Structure 1
Amino acid sequence: MTTARTWFLTGASRGFGALWAEAILEHGDQVVATARDAEVLKPLADRYGSQVMPLALDVTDRAAVDTAVHTAEEHFGGIDVLVNNAGHMLVGAVEEVGAEQARAQMDVNYFGALWTTRAVLPKMRERRAGRILQVSSLGGLIAYPALGIYQATKFAMEAMSQSLAAEVEAYGIHVTLIEPVMFPTGLAENSPQSQPDPAYAHARQALFTGASASGFVPGDPAATSQALLAVADAPNPPLRVLFGTGGLDALRTEYAGRLASLEEWDHLARLAQGNPAQK
């Protein structure tokens, strides 16, 4: 009989988070489910009793994150799996987005994940075991028009997590970036939005046209639950995994284009290098 694991899941009130919390509990594990408003999590606690610990948490508050993680560790004896899912999607061209909106986007999506990651690491290192699942996006690997600020947070998460994976491998800790492609979770609808500027109407149109032209088909959010559990159960999980179809083709096109452009302009790379042998 396998021992029940304890998960720490941020953004558990809606979308992927709500579906995943339910699936994890049905799987027989324990969940520390967090949301800005813990009252939203009451029905979950009522159904699963001591299996779930609902916590109010604003992931942008580093002190609150440290306290929540400590409380969870004291209550359940440790955290086996961290899922950094809390976040929102700010739609808008770079010039359209307000300064406070941009900071808030980075605070939630990137720094929120950074603070929770840092908070669980000491005990995971001590136990020499742990899983950290970072909910990124296909937009953490490809940047599309009208999503630049949102995707900047995911690019940042990608870099941090790839470095982290190499740093903590020696302690038996696995880091995986989950890259959802296209799912109707209500993320954009429930997120703050920039004020549209007619000057960038073409950029917004390009975003939707591009998604359609790429052949992305909306996936079933509920189906991601089994994929999440499979990643957590894998003895040697990947650093990155796509959730949904169409992403591989998009990435092949993206990376082929990047390499072709870099090769076309390699003469400037060589010009910039100079000739260190000559003085």
Structure 2
Amino acid sequence: METPHTPRTWFVTGAGRGLGRAFTEAALERGDRVAATSRDVGPLRDLVSEHEGRLLTMPLDVTDRDAVLAAVTAAHEHFGRIDIVVNNAGAMSSGMVEEFTEAEARAQMEVNFFGALWVSQAVLPHLRAQGSGHILQISSIAALGGFPSTGMYSASKFALEGMSEALAMEAAAFGVKLTIVQPGGYWTDLYTRMTSTAPLPAYAPLRAELERQWAEGSVDSEPRLAAEAVLKLVDSPNPPLRLLLGSMVYDLALDVSRRRMDTWAAWEEVSRAAEHAVPAPDGYGADHDA
């Protein structure tokens, strides 16, 4: 006999479009409650009328820490608890690393890293108090490695994953789970809303080669498939630290990991020779205490 589903409460950022919208719809369709946030909540109006009482929409800029704290507090007060947190809000800026201005580089980190950090900090007191919860950090295939023209985007996702690995261990002591979700290609507006740096002429040949590769085309998937995978993830009593979404990202992850292991093995002798423990130099502690 199938166990009845116990409704849970979600807090989803970037819920107005793409994957965030798919996660919100999937949660509502199974009878859950959702606090859906987005810079523009207009696209969610149809869901509000369809799921009266179970969907709370709130405009939110995740780069505003005070606004994030207020939104999480409002969601908790409205529904009484928060069970699943989906840090989905994100943006992409394309360009060679040398081309980024300081403002462009900081803007990429503000949304993809600091936004998720502020939400994580805001929800943790509530999750710790109830002794349960599951945080989903929506990362990217770009976190598997840096690629030409996606360096700053990759940097923001690498930062997100480094923070999240530590947070997963810190939160586990309170019964709170965390999973880093690494999606492959989906038909969202990430690329259509993408910003780009001012191109330097020196990179014209590389850009031409990249455009040639992209012209070969790719077939992305429906966001609904990612949402179905996420439902299985949050239903698991023992969710993984990382979950890859899609065959392409799965194959790439294995390929990248194998190549790194091959490189480490080839340079093992040099790596091991760089370490030989010796006693602390005279005055070492004194210098550091000064």
TM-score normalised per structure 1: 0.91
Residue aligning to 2:71? 68
Residue aligning to 1:264? 266
Residue aligning to 1:16? 19
Displacement of 1:98: 1.8
- Classify 1:37/1:248 alpha carbon distance in 2 versus 1 (closer, same or farther; 3 Å): closer
State the Cα deviation string for residues 191-224 of structure 1 (Å, max 9, x = none).
22212223223444555667799x9752222211
- Classify 1:203/1:115 alpha carbon distance in 2 versus 1 (closer, same or farther; 3 Å): farther
Residue aligning to 2:87? 84
- Classify 1:240/1:275 alpha carbon distance in 2 versus 1 (closer, same or farther; 3 Å): closer
Residue aligning to 1:135? 138
- Classify 1:249/1:202 alpha carbon distance in 2 versus 1 (closer, same or farther; 3 Å): farther
State the Cα deviation string for residues 58-86 of structure 1 (Å, max 9, x = none).
00000000000000000000110000000
Unaligned runs of 5+ in 2: 282-290
Structure 1 window deviating more from structure 2 (101-110 vs 162-171): it is 162-171
Whole-Å separation in 2 of the counterparts to 1:234 and 1:274: 44
- Classify 1:197/1:237 alpha carbon distance in 2 versus 1 (closer, same or farther; 3 Å): same
- Classify 1:210/1:122 alpha carbon distance in 2 versus 1 (closer, same or farther; 3 Å): farther
Written as runs of structure 1 = structure 2, the 5 A alignment for 1:154-169 is 154-169=157-172
Correspondence for 1:114 among 97, 108, 117:
117
The SS at the match of 1:50 is coil
The SS at the match of 1:73 is helix
Return the letter of the residue paired with 2:181: I
Whole-Å separation in 1 of the counterparts to 2:153 and 2:221: 21
Displacement of 1:274: 5.3
Residue aligning to 1:44? 47
Return the letter of the residue paired with 1:251: A
Is the contact made by 1:9 and 1:85 (CA closer than 8 Å) also made in structure 2? yes
The SS at the match of 2:278 is coil
State the Cα deviation string for residues 141-174 of structure 1 (Å, max 9, x = none).
2221110000111111111111111111121111
The SS at the match of 2:162 is helix
Is the contact made by 2:142 and 2:154 (CA closer than 8 Å) also made in structure 1? yes
Written as runs of structure 1 = structure 2, the 5 A alignment for 1:228-247 is 228-247=230-249
Residue aligning to 1:226? 228
The SS at the match of 1:171 is coil
Whole-Å separation in 1 of the counterparts to 2:274 and 2:214: 37
Displacement of 1:261: 2.3
Aligned residues: 277
- Classify 1:275/1:23 alpha carbon distance in 2 versus 1 (closer, same or farther; 3 Å): closer
The SS at the match of 1:219 is coil
State the Cα deviation string for residues 216-251 of structure 1 (Å, max 9, x = none).
752222211111111111111111111111223212
Whole-Å separation in 1 of the counterparts to 2:93 and 2:241: 26
Displacement of 1:275: 6.7
The SS at the match of 1:49 is coil
Is the contact made by 2:16 and 2:42 (CA closer than 8 Å) also made in structure 1? no
Displacement of 1:89: 1.1
Is the contact made by 1:217 and 1:246 (CA closer than 8 Å) also made in structure 2? no
TM-score normalised per structure 2: 0.88
Whole-Å separation in 2 of the counterparts to 1:219 and 1:202: 30
Whole-Å separation in 1 of the counterparts to 2:110 and 2:162: 16
Displacement of 1:270: 4.2
Whole-Å separation in 1 of the counterparts to 2:263 and 2:209: 21
Is the contact made by 2:14 and 2:90 (CA closer than 8 Å) also made in structure 1? yes
Whole-Å separation in 1 of the counterparts to 2:243 and 2:211: 24
Is the contact made by 1:59 and 1:113 (CA closer than 8 Å) also made in structure 2? yes
Percent identity of the aligned residues? Answer: 43
Whole-Å separation in 1 of the counterparts to 2:208 and 2:52: 47
Displacement of 1:97: 1.8
Whole-Å separation in 1 of the counterparts to 2:179 and 2:277: 41
Is the contact made by 2:17 and 2:43 (CA closer than 8 Å) also made in structure 1? no
State whether structure 2 residue 185 is matched by structure 1 residue 195: no
